[in-house]
């Protein structure tokens, strides 16, 4: 029986090769919505100076098949066998009123009327924020990931984000000119992300489970966050925080660039909207939310194996879904975690779990991707009333039996008092 190979032990070029094929063969889910944004996930290959960096013919046929063949020929070069893949992350500058202030993510931004497509939006925003031109021959557009939605806590759709993946095909990254919108830029080793496959986490159980707690009261009634009336404080006590899973990413000074807007060290960057929650430390970036979900989608498409063969507990690098308070809402967490583990896994854009559906015209098509947070909110709308019903039932039953017990106890005390009085008198 052959031993299981850990995800971190697989050459990084194998992941990029698989990612290229799946971006072409597995169509992305596009969500039509007027408010759109686009981001760029940029990958580069780190190679020591004593290895020759291969060249790539970017003038070849631009068809999907031609792109796949060109990238595969490039990655098959012997010099790249032990190359380390690195992914570009940024920390946004801190601005009052900016909902993404201080967050860790990818270069990108809102679509403008002059943009002809989501890809043009991603390239323009990257050029404006980092001075990096992804449209030249030093980068190759591998494809797009599934659209990811930005939602309110009640499930309302705010914006749709379109992620696009690029591969740097030269040794040296062009010099960047970091704008005031960006506090810092970091190249993170892909192995940091693959470790989540080898060691999946469980909420409140795994020793490496880490989360960002977001106060539900302040997110729901932000205008009362300062005054905090009595009902607000009560709401806060009952519902507490939503704990969003984070993926900690270790960064190094040699693979980081600090923007002019970063006057303080990265661990001092905070976002007032999130009540002082830190999004980074002096050694780590804390990836969470939709940025983590988009990275998760890319990782799933890049896996050259079924990750359940490595670890049966694996669902995704973005798992688990946001958790409510551990003890008071344990039943709610149990419901959503059960659904996440059993059902969610089969509705992802995962090559090893492809589903074939039939559209309205009777044509068989690849099953559509189910958005991470929108699916969570749908499940939560069912789990929450069930949890409330369970609590109400337990409260009623406990009150009923406590009252009955107290009645019996009073009768026993009265009987004892009567017997005692009879004995004395």
For the segment 282-294, the average pLDDT, to the nearest whole number, is 92
Any idea what DSSP says for residue 217? H
Q: Give me the pLDDT at residue 177, please.
A: 92
| Cβ pair 277, 288 in contact under 8 A | no
Say yes or no to pLDDT of 28 above 90: no
State the pLDDT at residue 268: 44
Higher per-residue pLDDT: 104 or 198:
104
Q: What is the enclosing helix (H) or strand (E) of 267?
A: none
- Which span out of 2-6, 21-25, 276-280, 327-331 was modeled with the highest average pLDDT? 327-331
What sign does the CA torsion over 31, 383, 291, 271 have?
positive
Greatest mean pLDDT range, 46-55, 200-209, 375-384: 375-384
- The yes-or-no verdict on residue 366 having pLDDT over 80 is no
Stretch 5-28: mean pLDDT: 88
Strands 148-151 and 157-168: antiparallel
Tens digit of pLDDT for each residue in 30-71?
888 899 999 999 999 998 877 888 888 766 656 777 888 888
> Following DSSP, what letter does each residue of 37-66 receive, concatenated?
EEEEEEEEEE--TTSPPPP--TTS--SHHH
Q: Given CATH 3.90.79.10, say whether it is the number of domain 1-210+246-320.
A: yes
Is the per-residue pLDDT at 83 higher than 90?
A: yes
pLDDT tens, 315-334? 788 888 899 998 889 999 99
Q: Does residue 91 register a pLDDT over 80?
A: yes
95-109, 124-138, 217-231, 263-277, range with greatest mean pLDDT: 124-138
pLDDT for the residue 419:
67
Between 336 and 408, residue with greater pLDDT:
336
User: Judging by beta carbons within 10 Å of its beta carbon (0-12, 13-18, 19+), is residue 241 exposed, middle or buried?
Assistant: buried
Is the pLDDT at 235 greater than 80? The verdict is: yes
Helix, strand or coil, per DSSP, at residue 83: coil
pLDDT tier, 394 (very low <50, low <70, confident <90, very high otherwise): confident
Looking at residue 4, what DSSP letter applies? P
Lowest average pLDDT, out of 54-58, 71-75, 139-143, 157-161, goes to: 54-58
Using a pLDDT cut of 70, give the percent of the chain over it. Answer: 84
Say what the pLDDT of residue 341 is.
77
Instruction: Name the residue ranges covered by the structural domains of the chain.
Output: 1-210+246-320, 213-245, 326-425
3-state secondary structure of 223: helix
pTM of the entire predicted model: 0.86
At 275 the pLDDT is 59
pLDDT at 369: 65
- The rounded distance, in Å, linking the Cα atoms of 108 and 89 is 11
Instruction: Determine the Cα–Cα distance for residues 172 and 181; give it in Å rounded to an integer.
Output: 24
Structure tokens at 381: 């709308």
The mean pLDDT value of the chain amounts to 83
């Amino acid at each position: 029986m052959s031993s299981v190979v850990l995800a971190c032990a697989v050459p990084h070029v194998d992941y990029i090769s698989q990612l290229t094929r799946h971006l072409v063969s597995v169509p992305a889910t596009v969500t039509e919505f007027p408010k759109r944004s686009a981001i760029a996930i940029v990958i580069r290959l780190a190679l020591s100076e004593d290895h020759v960096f291969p060249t790539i013919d970017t003038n070849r046929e631009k068809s999907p098949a031609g792109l796949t063949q060109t990238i595969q020929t490039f990655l098959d070069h012997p010099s790249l066998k032990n190359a380390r893949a690195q992914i570009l992350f940024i920390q946004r500058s801190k601005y009052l009123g900016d909902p993404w202030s201080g967050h860790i993510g990818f270069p990108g931004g809102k679509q403008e009327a002059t943009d002809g497509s989501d890809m043009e939006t991603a390239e323009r925003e990257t050029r404006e924020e980092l001075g990096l031109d992804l449209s030249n021959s030093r980068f190759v557009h591998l494809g797009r990931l599934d659209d990811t939605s930005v939602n309110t806590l009640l499930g309302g759709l705010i914006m749709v984000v379109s992620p696009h993946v690029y591969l740097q095909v030269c040794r040296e990254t062009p010099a960047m000119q970091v704008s005031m919108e960006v506090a810092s830029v970091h190249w993170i080793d892909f192995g940091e992300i693959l470790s989540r496959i080898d060691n999946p986490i469980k909420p409140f159980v795994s020793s490496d489970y880490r989360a960002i707690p977001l106060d539900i009261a302040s997110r729901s009634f932000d205008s009362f966050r300062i005054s905090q009336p009595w009902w607000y404080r009560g709401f806060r006590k009952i519902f507490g925080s939503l704990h969003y899973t984070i993926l900690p990413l270790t960064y190094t000074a040699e693979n980081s660039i600090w923007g002019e807007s970063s006057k303080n060290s990265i661990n001092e960057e905070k976002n007032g909207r999130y009540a002082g929650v830190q999004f980074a430390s002096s050694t780590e970036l804390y990836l969470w939310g939709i940025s983590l979900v988009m990275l998760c989608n890319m990782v799933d498409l890049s896996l050259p194996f079924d990750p359940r063969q490595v670890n049966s507990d694996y669902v995704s690098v973005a798992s688990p879904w946001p958790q409510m308070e551990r003890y008071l809402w344990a039943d709610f967490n149990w419901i959503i975690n059960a659904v996440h583990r059993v059902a969610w896994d089969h509705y992802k854009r995962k090559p090893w779990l492809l589903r074939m559906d039939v559209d309205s015209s009777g044509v068989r098509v690849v099953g559509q991707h189910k958005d991470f947070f929108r699916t969570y909110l749908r499940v939560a709308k069912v789990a929450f009333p069930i949890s409330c019903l369970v609590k109400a039932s337990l409260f009623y039953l406990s009150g009923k039996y406590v009252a009955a017990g107290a009645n019996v106890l009073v009768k026993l005390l009265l009987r004892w008092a009567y017997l005692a009085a009879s004995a004395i008198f």
